[in-house]
């Protein structure tokens, strides 16, 4: 399964490119070989993935800054990745990727579920109106039929039938990319997202959206990458942004900075939601 996942990620960087400046961490003498290779100048993708797979074939996977960097590094690799076919590791991965692309599994067919409409006003905000891609999708834990999808230039979309049909909920808002969404665990009509430096909240299922946060929080332009709600208390939420790691204890009215700096993702320990990873 891990090997298949790595091949799929390999195909991602063979066929897609999204330039991204990513902060590197530091490897140390005791780091696994794949980490050392990944942080080298001009790392060899095929060799890094091979060493990554070999390491986790005999070790438990533990999420950390290196595994997160690995994930984002693969995502950002160029469409024009140049493989050295004289290098056996590269040669093997190119061969396996071609086999994977040519193979078909009748039990894993994909079909488009929309949205089929688009925000025509995006023409003023994008060089390719209507060609928006989806950055993030969130599904309600208590009502799996309710889903929200955040796009690059086409706003926030909502489905109430598990993705069969989608409706635009932000037609009257001028928005940029939406990277983070959270839905209230106890009430699917309450949801949150960030776009254009502002944090938005709805209490009526997306019919209306309001900018939330105290004056100090709103005075900063936040590039929010993740929002997560406490499973025990829907008034407690955490978010990561380019300005820091924040917490609210009153449903988003006031946000307190816990740590300064730039943060990407959040995870709560499933056995203890007070233990937070970011």
The per-residue pLDDT for 14 is: 43
Q: What is the mean pLDDT of each run of 10 residues along the chain (278 residues)?
A: 46 42 75 92 86 89 86 66 61 62 62 62 53 84 94 90 92 87 94 93 96 91 92 94 94 94 90 89
From 74, 102, 130, the end of a domain falls on 102
- Alpha carbons within 13 angstroms on the beta-carbon side of residue 138 total 25
Does residue 8 lie in a domain region? Answer: yes
d(CA 157, CA 43): 38
Final residue of a structural domain among 67, 102, 137: 102
- Give the residue from 6, 141, 24 showing the smallest Cα distance to 74: 6
Residues 74 and 150 in one domain: no
> Can you give the CATH number for the domain in which 263 is found?
2.130.10.10
Residue 111 covered by a domain = no
Q: Which residue range is the domain that position 59 belongs to?
A: 2-102
At 62 the pLDDT is: 84
Our count of domains for the chain comes to 2
- The answer to the question of residue 108 being in a domain is no
User: Same structural domain for residues 161 and 268?
Assistant: yes
**Nearest in space to 84 (alpha carbons), one of 124, 28, 131, 44:** 44
Residue 93 covered by a domain: yes
Cβ-contact 70, 22 below 8 angstroms: no
- Is the same domain home to 185 and 74? no
Is this prediction's pTM over 0.95?
no
- pLDDT at residue 10 in the model: 47
Q: Is residue 175 part of a domain?
A: yes
Task: Identify the domain boundary among 39, 68, 102.
Answer: 102
pLDDT of residue 120: 56
From the list 118, 129, 208, the residue with the least C-alpha distance to 168 is 118
174 and 235 belong to one structural domain: yes
Residues 64 and 169 occupy one common structural domain: no
């Amino acid at each position: 399964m891990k090997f298949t996942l790595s091949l799929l990620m390999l195909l991602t960087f063979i066929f897609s490119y999204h330039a991204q400046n990513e902060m590197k961490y530091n490897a140390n003498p005791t780091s696994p070989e794949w980490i050392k290779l990944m942080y080298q100048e001009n790392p060899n993708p095929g060799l890094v993935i091979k060493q990554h797979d070999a390491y986790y074939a005999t070790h438990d996977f533990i999420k950390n800054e290196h595994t997160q960097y690995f994930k984002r590094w693969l995502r950002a690799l160029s469409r024009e990745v140049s493989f050295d076919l004289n290098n056996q590791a590269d040669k093997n991965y190119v061969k396996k990727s071609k086999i994977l692309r040519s193979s078909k599994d009748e039990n894993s067919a994909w079909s488009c579920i929309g949205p089929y409409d688009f925000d025509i006003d995006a023409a003023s905000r994008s060089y390719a109106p209507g060609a928006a891609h989806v950055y993030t999708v969130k599904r309600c834990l208590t009502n799996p039929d309710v889903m929200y999808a955040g796009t690059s230039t086409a706003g926030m979309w909502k489905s109430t039938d598990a993705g069969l049909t989608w409706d635009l909920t932000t037609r009257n808002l001028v928005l940029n990319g939406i990277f983070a969404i959270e839905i209230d665990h106890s009430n699917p009509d309450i949801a949150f997202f960030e776009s254009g430096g502002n944090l938005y909240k709805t209490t009526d299922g997306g019919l209306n959206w309001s900018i939330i946060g105290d004056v100090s929080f709103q005075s900063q332009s936040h590039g929010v990458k993740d929002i997560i709600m406490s499973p025990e208390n829907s008034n407690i939420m955490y978010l990561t942004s380019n300005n820091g790691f924040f917490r609210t204890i009153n449903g988003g009215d006031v946000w307190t900075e816990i740590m300064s700096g730039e943060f990407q993702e959040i995870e709560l320990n499933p056995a203890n939601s007070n233990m937070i990873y970011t």
